[in-house]
Structure 1
Amino acid sequence: MSGTHSHGEMLPRGTLVLAGALVAFALSAASFVRIADIPPAASPVLMREQAGIRPVKSRDLRFVDRADGAVVIEDVRGGIAAVVVPGQQTGFIRGVMRGLARERRAHGIGNGPSFKLTLWADGELSLVDSATGRALELTAFGTTNRATFAALLDAHNAKSVDPTA
């Protein structure tokens, strides 16, 4: 039996040098950004604020589940904006609100605080959770999904939301 056994040649030296250079570059880049005080990428909210884009319409809404599975969308100023009944093609509203409700539960927040739905002068549509500050850009989800929320801005009386109608 041979007396020496070495693991030193398992990785080529060039691979180790490149891995070390990559780590050094990442640390240097992160340090440069931190020291130079370069701001992070702007959010759509900040970009609108900087560009002076104003809201065209907005509505404060509360989403309440009913025992029959329907979701009642209440206008905070009074009245019902819409009722989303089970079986309609409104899964997008349910999905969005389910995700936001999950985040509220994680923070110990109930369904009392409202959401602000806003149409901006640049055509964008956003939904902001007043309790957590989370903002969703609804235009990013496509025109059909955006339309289900946009209809809530113009809804004056209780109605069922059905984008296929």
Structure 2
Amino acid sequence: MTLLLFNKPYGVLSQFTDRGSPTTRATLSDHVDVPGVYPAGRLDRDSEGLLLLTDDGRLQARIADPRFKTAKTYLVQVEGEPDDAALARLRGGVTLADGPTQPAVVERIDDPALWPRDPPIRVRRNIPDRWLSLTIREGRNRQVRRMTAAVGHPTLRLVRWRIGEWTLDGLPPGEWRRG
């Protein structure tokens, strides 16, 4: 069995080919040259961080399928300063267009020591931002972004830091290591 931990950079698709796009976009094949592995789950093109790749279908399903409730922790830079009420809403689950989310584990954190994002996020002098650590056990499309927006704090930067027992610690963007 092969398991790779990959730090997906901003702007890279969570797939090995880019079909249907008039322009060529960066894909996993620009960074990972190991044959026979596939992503276990996805990260949006504008999200960064941990992506697991494996050749084991059972492991892939266990990681990606919401039935298994694998915890995924994100470092989320949001616009504004979420108050206790906004955090309580996230902790209790918020209602999105596709239904209520399960409760999240969320806390304010100090600015993490991350690599610079290219391109950098838009900084507005008059609007503060805040970093959160947010853990969910679901995996809906753009779920974290939709959750923070639902409580009035749009996501500016999203980095998946942990999936289950695997973490991004010490892995630079665009690099991978065996898990």
TM-score normalised by L of structure 2: 0.24
When Rg is computed on C-alpha atoms for both structures, the one with the higher figure is 1
Whose strand fraction is larger, Structure 1's or Structure 2's? 2
Structure of higher RCO (CA pairs closer than 8 Å, 6+ residues apart): 2
